[in-house]
Structure 1
Amino acid sequence: MIRKRRGRSTITNVGTLKQIHALMIVNGLTSNVGFLRKLVLTTAMSMVGPNATSAVIRYALQMFAQIPQPDTFMWNTYIRGSSQSHDPVHAVALYAQMDQRSVKPDNFTFPFVLKACTKLFWVNTGSAVHGRVLRLGFGSNVVVRNTLLVFHAKCGDLKVATDIFDDSDKGDVVAWSALIAGYAQRGDLSVARKLFDEMPKRDLVSWNVMITVYTKHGEMESARRLFDEAPMKDIVSWNALIGGYVLRNLNREALELFDEMCGVGECPDEVTMLSLLSACADLGDLESGEKVHAKIIEMNKGKLSTLLGNALVDMYAKCGNIGKAVRVFWLIRDKDVVSWNSVISGLAFHGHAEESLGLFREMKMTKVCPDEVTFVGVLAACSHAGNVDEGNRYFHLMKNKYKIEPTIRHCGCVVDMLGRAGLLKEAFNFIASMKIEPNAIVWRSLLGACKVHGDVELAKRANEQLLRMRGDQSGDYVLLSNVYASQGEWDGAENVRKLMDDNGVTKNRGSSFVEAFS
């Protein structure tokens, strides 16, 4: 399949690549330089973007390997495509092959290789590339110099970055922004701000860099002040501040800023909507979530990307409307493991256990492979449905077929499942056999099951473990006291209350939350 991307054709599957490759061989075009250059441009672009699968990248590289004598332009094009792909290691490998074949790099080669080293955080390799840049005399090239500055500022030597900056044109906004970001990333906000204030001229990028710096370090008041002072703003400015609010759990502020954004006529993008859906999910604000959903439909003319679809499913599930979560799930065209996990877990935790397990069975018939999050939802569904045999079967399936090591969440689900079914000794034995240390949630789950099923002896053993971990939690004492009381053992209940007093543990007063509407 071939798609248009910014005026260029982009190949999105291996089959199309193979067809082009076959036509090239059949028509004897492997030695036509003009054709090869067009082919290289097209296939290199196929390595970039969300549709660039590992198979597409691998086959594109195989095609390049069969070109007898690629020129510098062809090497650079493929190195650029690799550096922009999700696996930039290929860019460095191609650069090494280029050197082995005695093809001399130029000023276009080094920026792409350095970008790959920066993405990979390969400090030694990037430093070696820097040495070669100097030997070949490209250190004065503005683009090469700025890419070196970015590399050293982000993952290399900050002193070297500063030296490069000192030797650069002080009117170069890119150099200033790179150094500011470097100091900020290392946690030195005061130097970053000093550099920002000293800039002879600032463009939109420099303002956005500094706003993002503050949001990433949780300095939301400073970020907001700078945002308000900025003479110009774009979608990046708004997204930086909205995303910062959401990251710091200031979700109401994020929603208010979105209203402000719409009020000034700025159009949101997918990044904006993902942040807002996260805010709505954390707040449990269904009304705001539905407004965001309506805006997404308006923006995308009914089409739904996988990322936005997943975020909507998660939001509706967390806001309590599992019916809408399921409906959105079925609208997602390219469902990934996150799509399935969101709806399986959402159904499970809303008490729709059979529907959750039914969807898991459907998932197994697709090409999407379940992961550890999937099995948390599946085991929770088995627990809520009382399907102990099925739950045990899935627990072993997870370990044996999918080679997923159980986490504390999986083990907690199994303990909860056995406890709900009244299989308290089995639950206790399961905890004893766990390879990982049980946490307080696991023991509290067993203690709660002991209360439901009236097993005082196991309740005492579970409570002993809890008190070793956290002796100051009043709820654990109260739960054990209630176990005694439910069996009419009032002396035991009184002894627990006395133990609370002796240990200085006080029961928290009950409280409720009321939201007032004017």
Structure 2
Amino acid sequence: MIRKRTNDRSANRQQRSPLWRSCTSLRSLKQIHATLIVKGFISDPSAVREFIFAAAVAVPGALGYALKVFGQIPQPDTFTWNTVIRGAAQSLNPQNAVSLYVKMENGASSRPDRFTFPFALKACTKLRLAQLGLCVHGRIVKIGFDSNTNVRNTLIYFHANCGELGVARELFEASGKAEVVAWSALTAGYARRGELGIARELFDEMPVKDLVSWNVMITGYAKRGEMEKARRLFDQAPQRDVVTWNAMIAGYVLSNCNNKALDMFKEMRLVGETPDEVTLLSLLSACAELGDLEIGMQMHHSIQEFVQGDPGTLLGNALVDMYAKCGSIERALNIFFSMKQRDLSTWNSVIGGLAFHGHAERSISLFEEMLKLSISPDEITLVGVLIACSHAGKVKEGKQYFKLMREKYGIKPNIRHYGCMVDLLGRAGLLEEAFEFVEKMEIAPNAIIWRTLLGACRNHGDVELGKIASEKLISVRHDESGDYVLLSNLYALKEDWSGAEKVRKSMDDNGIMKGIGFSLIDEADDDDGVPAHSV
């Protein structure tokens, strides 16, 4: 039997019966739903409320099913409305929460109460719907719920994040100072809008600092790249959760301190904190940037420890990208083909990875397969495809793809696409066509374009065009020794020693020093043979 609920309609106070506590998947939820229908319990309002709560809030991935069932209820009570709005507001698609709230306001038999508005405001905040949030605020004032602590705190949260900081401050000063939630909401608002100075003042003035407050400030400093300040607060924090660790790891990755990010993960594991998907995504990004296959494989093993079965699209994409950037194309392809669901990022990672590492034919083949599946490419996809065409010497195909960018897919070429085309024509020895292409570009060519042309002239021994490319390059940037050396080598290739000497003299006259050559050694192991970074 399903235990009947008390009259408390707060979604926050929902008590689940033993039957519903055993419901942990969409499949088991459907089985219980079928039982309810067969035995007639679906007509029991208490059973309906229990079911909607389980589907909308408690069971991962069941919100869509909850919304379908909710749509079949003739006259849902306020608690049931609040439950589905809550579940939608907490989901990846909070737009459903907004739609439900509007529908509830416009003709539903049940009216919004003090529990409805916080969920609606949180959805508006996530979606950055400032105007709708202001309308909700007006409705709250009209009904008289603005004195409710939970509603007021959520209003501070909304205005601090996407409304008016001044309004948030007024609400806080008027009656919110007694609540640590209000302090945290206002502090977070200033921090997320980049006003870390004011945020830090509020943080220091807090009579009681909760974990959210610590996380807000640590995240704020980490996003600004101020990792020393973030680390000091991290060390001072009386307690930490996975969000605290994620802020530090992501901050180090954003600051290009990837080794420190991996070290932080080791610390995280030592204290027994379990990583989540955000942690793992940041770490895979660090591995990809380091280009260290051994560390990347260790990270993949760690993911298999923490994530049972299919890692999902986001982690799958990150694994494909990591293996591709580390040069392990076969492993990248194995992950790609094993993924149950793929999105455009998945295809982009594997197409680009294959192209960058010289597997041009396979890259183009996968692109054609993607098109057959009616997946529209974006600008990133076309960069990978054009690189593949350039490496494979497929001039005709590259020109065709470049043309289709705008005509078929509505993609405006950017400097990277133009650079790929210049490289394609230059590699093929079509130097005059490459120069004509550059002259007709819709955006000004940068140093990379001219250096690509200069490199192509050197490879094909065209001194005259090389001089033109060099002059253009030096007019864009004149302090790179490599640009001068490239032209000097072109003269030397043609045994024009006088021209080479003039380039050298020009370097001296402009105070350009040739960089000292060095070799880069990947110190994968310490002296004792233990990998420097073991995750």
Bin of the TM-score, shorter chain as denominator length: 0.7 to 0.9
Query: Residue 143 of structure 1 corresponds to which residue in structure 2?
Result: 150
Mapped to 2, the partners of 1:355 and 1:223 lie a distance apart of 44
Residues 1:504 and 2:511 are matched in the alignment:
yes
- Deviation track 1:164-201 (CA, whole Å, cap 9, x = no partner) reads 22344645321121122122223333433333333333
Answer whether contact 1:49 1:85 (CA < 8 A) is retained. no
Mapped to 2, the partners of 1:206 and 1:171 lie a distance apart of 15
Answer whether contact 2:310 2:340 (CA < 8 A) is retained. no
1:387 to 385, 389, 394: 394
Residues 1:402 and 2:409 are matched in the alignment:
yes
Shift in Å, 1:477: 2.0
Paired AA for residue 198 in structure 2: V
- Deviation track 1:215-255 (CA, whole Å, cap 9, x = no partner) reads 22322222222222222222222111111111111111111
Change (3 A) 1:298 1:82: closer
Residues 1:431 and 2:431 are matched in the alignment:
no
Paired AA for residue 519 in structure 2: S
Please, what is the CA RMSD of the aligned residues?
Answer: 3.4
Change (3 A) 1:285 1:465: same
Residues 1:279 and 2:286 are matched in the alignment:
yes
Change (3 A) 1:329 1:99: closer
Shift in Å, 1:452: 0.7
TM-score normalised by structure 2 residue count: 0.83
Change (3 A) 1:466 1:276: same
Change (3 A) 1:457 1:199: same
Mapped to 1, the partners of 2:322 and 2:179 lie a distance apart of 44
Answer whether contact 1:44 1:78 (CA < 8 A) is retained. yes
1:206 to 213, 218, 224: 213
Mapped to 2, the partners of 1:420 and 1:182 lie a distance apart of 52
Query: Residue 130 of structure 1 corresponds to which residue in structure 2?
Result: 137
Query: Residue 16 of structure 2 corresponds to which residue in structure 1?
Result: none
1:445 to 449, 452, 455: 452
Answer whether contact 1:111 1:144 (CA < 8 A) is retained. yes
Residues 1:314 and 2:284 are matched in the alignment:
no
Shift in Å, 1:431: 1.6
2:478 to 471, 476, 491: 471
Shift in Å, 1:97: 4.2
Shift in Å, 1:427: 1.3
1:486 to 493, 496, 499: 493
Query: Residue 121 of structure 1 corresponds to which residue in structure 2?
Result: 128
Mapped to 2, the partners of 1:218 and 1:199 lie a distance apart of 24
State which drifts further: 473-482 or 378-387. Answer: 473-482
Shift in Å, 1:150: 0.3
Mapped to 2, the partners of 1:94 and 1:301 lie a distance apart of 34
- Deviation track 1:76-127 (CA, whole Å, cap 9, x = no partner) reads 4454444344454454454444444386421122112211222233334323
Mapped to 2, the partners of 1:333 and 1:64 lie a distance apart of 29
Query: Residue 513 of structure 1 corresponds to which residue in structure 2?
Result: 520
Shift in Å, 1:65: 7.5
Write out aligned runs for 1:281-360 (5 A): 281-360=288-367
Mapped to 1, the partners of 2:329 and 2:214 lie a distance apart of 41
Shift in Å, 1:74: 5.0
Mapped to 1, the partners of 2:445 and 2:62 lie a distance apart of 42
Change (3 A) 1:86 1:382: same
State which drifts further: 468-477 or 274-283. Answer: 468-477
Change (3 A) 1:6 1:396: farther
Residues 1:460 and 2:497 are matched in the alignment:
no
Mapped to 2, the partners of 1:266 and 1:357 lie a distance apart of 43
Change (3 A) 1:51 1:104: closer
Does the residue aligned with 2:376 lie in a helix, a strand or coil?
A: coil
Mapped to 2, the partners of 1:235 and 1:344 lie a distance apart of 33
Shift in Å, 1:446: 1.2
Write out aligned runs for 1:67-86 (5 A): 71-86=77-92
Mapped to 2, the partners of 1:10 and 1:143 lie a distance apart of 31
Does the residue aligned with 2:504 lie in a helix, a strand or coil?
A: helix
Write out aligned runs for 1:142-161 (5 A): 142-161=149-168
Answer whether contact 1:171 1:201 (CA < 8 A) is retained. no
Does the residue aligned with 1:310 lie in a helix, a strand or coil?
A: helix
- Deviation track 1:454-502 (CA, whole Å, cap 9, x = no partner) reads 1122212222221221122222222122222212222222222233333
2:107 to 91, 101, 104: 101
Shift in Å, 1:264: 1.9
Mapped to 2, the partners of 1:97 and 1:323 lie a distance apart of 51
Structure with the larger RCO, 1 or 2 (CA within 8 Å, 6+ apart) = 2
Answer whether contact 1:474 1:505 (CA < 8 A) is retained. yes
Answer whether contact 2:124 2:130 (CA < 8 A) is retained. yes
Paired AA for residue 296 in structure 1: I
Shift in Å, 1:159: 3.0
Answer whether contact 2:356 2:387 (CA < 8 A) is retained. yes
Mapped to 1, the partners of 2:242 and 2:56 lie a distance apart of 29
Paired AA for residue 433 in structure 1: K
Mapped to 2, the partners of 1:49 and 1:157 lie a distance apart of 34
Answer whether contact 2:351 2:364 (CA < 8 A) is retained. yes
Mapped to 2, the partners of 1:510 and 1:166 lie a distance apart of 62
1:216 to 223, 248, 261: 223
Answer whether contact 2:336 2:346 (CA < 8 A) is retained. yes
Change (3 A) 1:493 1:395: same
Paired AA for residue 427 in structure 1: A
Answer whether contact 1:110 1:144 (CA < 8 A) is retained. yes
Answer whether contact 1:314 1:343 (CA < 8 A) is retained. yes
Answer whether contact 2:458 2:487 (CA < 8 A) is retained. yes
Mapped to 2, the partners of 1:377 and 1:255 lie a distance apart of 29
Shift in Å, 1:304: 2.4
Paired AA for residue 343 in structure 1: V
- Deviation track 1:243-300 (CA, whole Å, cap 9, x = no partner) reads 1111111111111111111122222222111111111111222222111111111222
Shift in Å, 1:435: 2.1
Query: Residue 251 of structure 2 corresponds to which residue in structure 1?
Result: 244
Give ranges in structure 2 of 5+ residues lacking alignment.
1-19, 528-535
Answer whether contact 2:25 2:60 (CA < 8 A) is retained. no
Paired AA for residue 146 in structure 1: N
1:262 to 257, 269, 279: 269
Does the residue aligned with 2:275 lie in a helix, a strand or coil?
A: coil
